[in-house]
Homo-oligomer: A and B are copies of this chain.
Amino acid sequence: MQHTYLQCISCDYKTDLLEERKFRCPDCGDLYDIKHNFEPLLKSTGTGFNALTLIFDERAKRSVFNPKNEATRSSGVWRFKELIMPYLDEKYIVTLGEGNVPIVPAGKHLSKWLGKDVEVWMILEGMTPTGSFKDFGGTVLMSVAKAAGIQAIACASTGDTSAMTAAYAAAAGIECAVILPKGFVTSVQLAQPLAHGAKIINLPGNFDDCMRVMQELVRDYGVYPANSLNPARIEGHQTTVFLTAQFFGWQLPDWFAVPVGNGSNCSSIGKALRLMESFGRGTISKILGCQSEAANPLAKSWAMVERGGQADPRDWKMAFRPIQVGETTATAARIGNPVSRDKVMREIFYTSGAMQIASERDLNEAVAVCGKDGYFVCPQTGIALAGTRNAIKRGWIKKDQKVVVVSTATGLKFTDSVAAGLQNNITDAKDCETSTVAKILRF
């Protein structure tokens, strides 16, 4: 892929995407971005971005007729191939039919809970093959791995990434190993890598230990990483922005609100917004990055240096410290030292966005409120919703602005925490008589 390459985010060192195995700049040790030279592409499509949106619209329209199973039609991610991985040969695409997720307006209970006069939507990225937003990145990651001839892949994960990696590796015919923090993933989250034939290694530590081991496996043992260290995933996660823009007739909302764990979602939204800006799409959205009280290394350091919702990147960098994570129901974002912290904060600053901390109480309440509207979302979605509510209260999100909240996974992956505290709604009938049940129902 001669027009696609890796570039260090600090020192501009460049290297080949399909040849790279270590995913750290040899000069300065920093992370890579993927870059595409869009010029040859834009020449071939004619009039630039508008011509591309016509292609995307046409594919979307034809996505429901697809007996030949063309990936650019069946996948809501590969619909945007020209923006995501323009020069990848289509024969390498590994898809499970991801990406056609609903974008829904906040229900009655949620609207009331958030406060009035702000237009809030949710993009339900849990309605994907493995049940989380990770699939948007996974399909791109695994397609690149296939193009690079990779035989085995590994990741460290609190759960969702391992499910995604195992599923897409299976689809690609690539061997897979996942490193999990023992005791911190639910049996539900363990079931997916098992079902997809991955090798599971339980580490007697927390997620940060898993991440360190994973990074050292890549650096010292030649293991190919599926973590967000591998920037191919970021390309796929841009889909959140493109799907949303298309949904609103190629208009961007005022804000994207996202939960921030390791930060891949946040980085990718920023990247997609910059890309649209570079193509002349006018004012871009601001990013609201939200973290739980228990795992708030970025939001805490940002809060230390912000004034009226704005902050200086250098101040933030001085203030940042990794933290020891506490207990939270939002286990998938329980990360004290995010690998992609610089990418995350770069995008928050670039979009004039902000960060918010969600209290444990608020994030759980947000999940419960969605339940009352009929939506079953994960606790990380609760972080983004609670953060949105705080930003509305503080006046950072203003009257009549439009906010798209990223719902990162289905509640089915977090049933224990969602159901906790609701057991008093269960009544055991003493027998199987209809009159007994009628009495309980007060009929």
Q: Does A60 sit within 8 A of B, measured CB to CB?
A: yes
Q: How far is the CA of A127 from the CA of B173 in the complex (A)?
A: 23
Interface of A, secondary structure class, is: mixed
Stretch among A189-197, A345-353, A385-393 lining the B interface:
A189-197
Chain B proximity of A256: nearest CB distance (Å): 16
Interface string of A177-218 (1 = CB under 8 A from B): 101001000011011101111111111110001001100110
Q: Are A248 and B67 in contact (CB under 8 A)?
A: yes
Q: How far is the CA of A247 from the CA of B65 in the complex (A)?
A: 4
Closest residue of chain B to A220, judged by CB?
Answer: B434
Chain B proximity of A3: nearest CB distance (Å): 28
A437 partner, pick from B203, B428, B433, beta carbons under 8 A: B203
Q: How many copies does the complex hold?
A: 2
A427 partner, pick from B170, B202, B367, B422, beta carbons under 8 A: B202
- Complex A-B: 6 CB contacts under 8 Å: A96-B374, A187-B415, A190-B415, A191-B419, A203-B429, A223-B438
Q: Which residues of B contact A395 (CB under 8 A)?
A: none
Q: Does A264 sit within 8 A of B, measured CB to CB?
A: no
Chain B proximity of A369: nearest CB distance (Å): 10
Q: Are B69 and A440 in contact (CB under 8 A)?
A: no
Given contacts A74-B102, A129-B375, is CB(A202)–CB(B419) below 8 Å? no
Q: Which residues of B contact A426 (CB under 8 A)?
A: 190, 194, 200-202
Q: Are A372 and B102 in contact (CB under 8 A)?
A: no
Q: Which residues of B contact A428 (CB under 8 A)?
A: 182, 201-202, 204
Q: Are B434 and A217 in contact (CB under 8 A)?
A: yes
Q: Which residues of B contact A230 (CB under 8 A)?
A: none
Q: Are A190 and B419 in contact (CB under 8 A)?
A: yes
Q: Which residues of B contact A203 (CB under 8 A)?
A: 429, 432, 437
Q: How far is the CA of A312 from the CA of B194 in the complex (A)?
A: 44
Chain B proximity of A198: nearest CB distance (Å): 7
Specify which of A127, A128, A169, A443 lies most central, judged by the most chain B CB atoms within 10 Å of its CB.
A127
Specify which of A177, A431, A434 lies most central, judged by the most chain B CB atoms within 10 Å of its CB.
A434
